[in-house]
A and B are shown apart, each in its own frame.
Chain A
Amino acid sequence: EAQVTQNPRYLITVTGKKLTVTCSQNMNHEYMSWYRQDPGLGLRQIYYSMNVEVTDKGDVPEGYKVSRKEKRNFPLILESPSPNQTSLYFCASSLGGSSYNEQFFGPGTRLTVL
């Protein structure tokens, strides 16, 4: 089944404790992206990647890191999480190395930073 998977689905952590949210897609998509969704603010793009070893900042990259060593994986790293990073996070992928195509989303990761 073609899909985007994220892990973990739910995470409660404490300020300053490094964490990684994994994202993997099995559709051979070049474009991958991370979003956070907050009430009243909609989805905001954190980072995106046009292809392997190519990453760019979205609207809200501060406090996050990403890497794209393989086509299928695009992990999101929070080196020192803070309470304002409490949010619902979505990973997405799309065909082709462009932002023009339909995006397929993972099921989301609900992160709480205490």
Chain B
Amino acid sequence: RKEVEQDPGPFNVPEGATVAFNCTYSNSASQSFFWYRQDCRKEPKLLMSVYSSGNEDGRFTAQLNRASQYISLLIRDSKLSDSATYLCVVNGASSASKIIFGSGTRLSIRP
């Protein structure tokens, strides 16, 4: 089983739709969680950190479920500019541990 798993997609949704991604992780001792966004042939950039209490940034909401070991990302009122690959990132049990990326979920927003 992969340490971090994501549905690769692609998700193809109309502009204005709400779309949700999940990401599961295997190490129950993991401490920090992130969503990164990667545009085609570009470097990944932080979209948002994921906190235990859940957090929201405009149209984006991230949730963490430690009991079931998954994190989620919800995008409301999707825009054409949201088309990208979304990467789930989990670190290990300590601050000195390695960082694990999911293989990414590709999202395409159509007009």
Contacts and interface: CB of A to CB of B under 8 A. Distances in A.
Given A40-B103, A43-B87, A97 B95 contact: yes
Given A99-B91, A103-B46, A105-B44, A45 B100 contact: yes
A100 B98 contact: no
Contacts, number: 61
Q: Which of A33, A56, A103 has the most CB of B within 10 A?
A: A103
Nearest to A98: B95
A17 to B, nearest CB: 25
Contacts of B44: 43, 90, 103, 105
A32 to B, nearest CB: 12
6 contacts: A42-B87, A44-B101, A102-B46, A102-B49, A107-B43, A108-B41
A101 B87 CA distance: 16
Given A45-B99, A48-B99, A99-B99, A105 B45 contact: yes
Interface string B19-51: 000000000000110100000011111100100
A98 B43 contact: no
A76 interface: no
Interface of B: 8, 31-32, 34, 41-46, 49, 87, 91-92, 95-104
A41 interface: yes
Contact of A99 (B43, B46, B87, B97): B97
A100 B45 CA distance: 15
A76 to B, nearest CB: 15
Given A97-B96, A99-B32, 12 more contacts: A33-B99, A43-B87, A44-B101, A45-B101, A98-B96, A99-B91, A99-B92, A99-B96, A99-B99, A100-B31, A102-B46, A105-B45
Interface string A40-71: 11111100101000001011000000000000
A98 B69 CA distance: 22
Contacts of B8: 40
